[in-house]
Amino acid sequence: MSFPTKPQVVPARAEFSSGPCPKRPGYDLAEIAKIAFLGRSHRAAGPKAQIKNVIDMIASTLAVPEGYRVGIVPASDTGAYEMAMWSMLGARPVDMLVWESFGKGWATDAVKQLKLDDCRVIEADYGLLPDLSTVRMDADICFTWNGTTSGVRVPDGDWIADDRAGLTFCDATSAVYAQDMPWEKLDVTTFSFQKVMGGEGAHGVLILSPRAVERLESYTPDRPLPKIFRLTKGGKLIDGIFTGATINTPSMLAIADAQDALTWIAGQGGAAGTQKRAGANFAALQAWVDRTDWVENLAIDPATRSNTSVCLKVADPEIAAMDDAAQQAFTKKMVKMLDAEGAAYDIGGYRDAPAGLRIWCGATVNTADIEALTPWLDWAFHTAKADS
């Protein structure tokens, strides 16, 4: 059997994890330490100003509209999305859109934990989007913009009505800074430092439209709210969350790291520049997929393919005919081989997703490293198949 020889050149940076994601090019932890308020109270003037600066830089680099509020909250994107759900859902009907594991988790919470009365779950298999035309515009809509575990994204916001009565709750953690966000369509948007920014974990970002603020100040849910979920006090938005006075103690090292990431993003021209970088990375990887017969993009419709968390499946007939456990074992073998060679780290598909590979193509990755990776993918596949 003939198959490619082992490539001689590995990517300069072999980090292709979908979370935490690769650091920006030229990252230097020693430089972060120089600007970090280590051992200081986050309530002190300097540290608080740095937190507020990170908030302002997020608003600026994402071109968040005037009147929207940007805050830093605990527990990464999960914490941001959960606090929004628990604080605001229940005022009107809810449609939960599910096409990957995180969306499924939000739907489970809505149905089994919040026990919402009028809650529809509109679901699609991995690789597909649900029928967006069935969404009720008098309902609140909860969805992931970019399915991190499926590699499937909504193509745009055209399916969301401008005159909707409900709010949109958008988990955008692997979409911001890589895909265009139509803010006029989004009322609650969440993400985390450690995805497209390439920052550190533990903190989430919550962006609220004026309509979302109005909901918070006019609706009191009939459920107990833990302290870290509370966004209002006395019927008014807690302003400190959006001006640097975080709910609980943040990591000032993570805050300094986020400031560094945002400075780099601003140097790329903000979100417009980082979108171009992610687009170039995806184009390089997809071009290889298109000319390679053993692999396919898990996302069937090209218009819905993620340009960040790109999910691939093995299309080779012999491997595709295996049962799921055998396919999982095969792809894990490929992943282990690539890791051992220092060619690619952490590119196995998500544990709940179909067997396959997941390669991060966000803005902090260099296109040259994607191009250097693809010969290694060919080598790993053919070597693993020959050993099967």
Residue 37 has pLDDT above 90, yes or no: yes
Cβ contacts of 106 within 8 Å, gap of 6 or more: 81, 85, 96, 98, 142, 144, 171
Q: What is the pLDDT of residues 58-79, one digit of tens each?
A: 999 999 999 999 999 999 999 9
Closest CA to 22 of 241, 259, 195: 195
> pLDDT-based confidence at 4, cuts 50/70/90?
confident
- 34: CB partners within 8 A, 6+ apart: none
Compute the distance between CA of residue 187 and CA of residue 239 in angstroms, rounded to an integer: 17
Task: Tell me which residue of 346, 329, 337 sits closest to 377, measured CA to CA.
Answer: 337
pTM of the model: 0.97
Per residue in 102-154, pLDDT (tens digit) is 999 999 999 999 999 999 999 999 999 999 999 999 999 999 999 999 999 99
Distance between CA atoms of 86 and 109, rounded to whole angstroms?
9
pLDDT at residue 82 is higher than 60:
yes
Q: Judge whether residue 1 has pLDDT over 90.
A: no
**275-286 mean pLDDT:** 98
Structure tokens at 352: 């709940």
Pure H helices in 151-251: 210-218
pLDDT score, position 62: 98
Q: What is the chain's percent helix, strand, coil content, to nearest 5?
A: 40, 15, 45
Question: 29-267 has which CATH code?
Answer: 3.40.640.10
In eight-state DSSP terms, residue 228 is: G
Kindly report, residue by residue over 253-265, the tens digit of the pLDDT.
999 999 999 999 9
| pLDDT per position as a tens digit, 333-356 | 999 999 999 999 999 999 989 999
| Consecutive H or E run containing 188 | strand 188-192
383: helix, coil or strand? Answer: helix
Can you tell me the mean pLDDT for 11-38? Answer: 98
pLDDT class for 388, splitting at 50, 70, 90? confident
Q: What pLDDT does 2 receive?
A: 62
CB 48 within 8 A of CB 245: yes
At 3, the pLDDT band (50, 70, 90 cuts) reads low
Provide the pLDDT confidence category of residue 332 given band limits of 50, 70 and 90.
Answer: very high
Q: Which residues 6+ apart lie within 8 Å of 65 measured at CB?
A: 183, 184
| Mean pLDDT calculated for residue range 27-56 | 98
| Location of each CATH 3.90.1150.10 domain in the chain | 271-387
Q: What is the pLDDT of residue 109?
A: 97
User: Could you give the CA distance from residue 35 to residue 219 in angstroms, rounded to a whole number?
Assistant: 41
| Residue written as token pair 């993918």 | 377
Report d(CA 52, CA 66) in Å as an integer: 16
Q: Do residues 214 and 231 make contact, with C-beta atoms less than 8 angstroms apart? A: no
Q: Where in the chain is the domain with CATH 3.40.640.10?
A: 29-267
Q: Measuring CA to CA, which residue among 154, 149, 174, 148 is closest to residue 97? A: 154
Sheet harboring 140-144: ordered strands across? 69-74, 203-208, 188-192, 168-171, 140-144, 94-98, 119-123
Quick: pLDDT tens for 99-110. Answer: 999 999 999 999
For the chain, the average pLDDT equals 97
Judge contact between 146 and 309, C-beta under 8 A: yes
Question: Amino acid identity of 293?
Answer: D
Q: Domain 271-387, what architecture?
A: Alpha-Beta Complex (3.90)
Q: pLDDT digit string (tens) for 210-246?
A: 999 999 999 999 999 999 999 999 999 999 999 999 9
